[in-house]
Structure 1
Amino acid sequence: MFSDYGKELLRSGIIEAKAGDKESARRYLDRAVYISNDHDVLAEAWFWMSQMIEDKLEKRKALENCLIHDLRHARARRALAILDGKLKADEIIDPDHLPAAPEGLQAANVERFMCPKCGGRMSFAPDGQSLLCEYCSRNQKFTAQPGTANEKDFIIAMATARGHGKPLNQQVFHCEGCGCEFILPPNQISSTCVYCGSPHVVDWESEEELLAPDGIIPHAFNQKRAVQLLIEWVESHRIKPEKQVELPRGVYLPLWTFDLGGEIDYVG
């Protein structure tokens, strides 16, 4: 009986809230919270209560009470993320009306880096944290560090365009020699496997849909250091290569980040 009455009070409170009568809505919702012992009713009542409150501290308290009764309440978690500055209200999208993706190739922002010491060309160092002159080997750290691939809350991300990314058609190279796979740039008609060195002609009739990675794992050291470490390892194991060893080739590895949640029963 009390459960049904609590649902009626919640329903009346939501109606008043949608009608814009905050005072009446709060009376119904307060009453629903007081008499109900149903977690679903309590979670929804506290959420709608938070929508009637202007004070940020009181709003936060109402949202936290909502999550106490339903930790996976998506709207409460999004509202709390907005309060915490982790999400902007204008970033929330309608999943049934996603923003149109740009068509064709997009112009990239291009910047040329010149060495302040010798005027030579500077390129990214393998660690991805600095620029290295190709002539005098001057190393210049970035004043602003590149962004990192941080983990995103699944429920919050699903409210934004980031959670509705569409896979892109990519040309995936499959080596017939060692079985490795990696992505090729557009219009490349031949390739050499970076692992086993076998040459291949690319078949452009086969493409795969892949989600763009969240980041790329940089190298820990450059090619010169890699050669030095390889020599030290060979000497420490007393290995005598039968053939001349080729220079190592670096490969940037893509990175996807995601969180998973669920429930599991156990006896202990």
Structure 2
Amino acid sequence: MNDSFAQLGTVTAPSGVLVFGMALWLDHWPEVGPPLSERAREVVAREARGGHLMEGPAEAVAVAVDGTRALAVRARTAPSPFDDEPAIAVLEVELGVPWPAGREESVLLGDLPVDRGGMVLGDAVGLDAWIGLEGEPADGLADVSYWGRDEEEAHQRFGGVRIPQYDGDRQGIYSLLDLPVEKATALAAEIDAFGIGVVSSASPHTDFHRFECAGRTRPLAVGEIEVGGRPVLGFGWCQGDHAVRHHGERDWGRVYPVTLDRGADGGTVLRWTVPEWDEDEEE
């Protein structure tokens, strides 16, 4: 494991409550009950410092923070057993609040799986506005991407530019950007009909898609976007690494502890620890 921390950015939580959760399921919370911010406030009030939230497949932790400060986010990395590329091993967030006097032990808030769609960190109220994978984009636009054996022939017909990706083809994949959703859907169908050697995807400009785009060229696929008028950090995940280490998520016991710990400066940090892969576990 890399012993040094890399700085990934900062977030703010003016509501005083910070949420770290699964990107694919953020819009699930209001469909099955109160909004995420209400649940987050309740668990913080009940547990004083924070706690774990779960509703079906949706999971998150919520913690109390200093809502007036920028909160630094950093990570240690370890090589992925999939491709030997760096993957998050320890994620830390400074909460801007002091560590309780006289306390020595860490506080276990719960555990979280690695969402195959990535993880998101942001203000509880801001995340109530999150538009998920199946939502309607606020700008009515979408991007079309295509790839495959016959992509060069398809490019001659359909055009587009190569967009670098953090995962997979380092050269990037061909994309046509900022098209009206209906036009993008029709174009993707036309590309799919071009031949069996090329496949396409139409991606509306949801918050989920924007967070993926923001991190596609950055180490650890860390991207920053604004949701609900507040900055949000997203952490993408290599699909190969997820398949090797984290597939099955909670149902297979692939969950990792989230704790509150004393920081080097005497403050409190939120820490999520993803252990290195144990080859014996695979057996």
TM-score normalised by the chain length of structure 2? 0.20
- Structure with the larger strand share: 2
- Structure with the larger helix share: 1
| Higher RCO (Cα < 8 Å, 6 or more apart) | 2
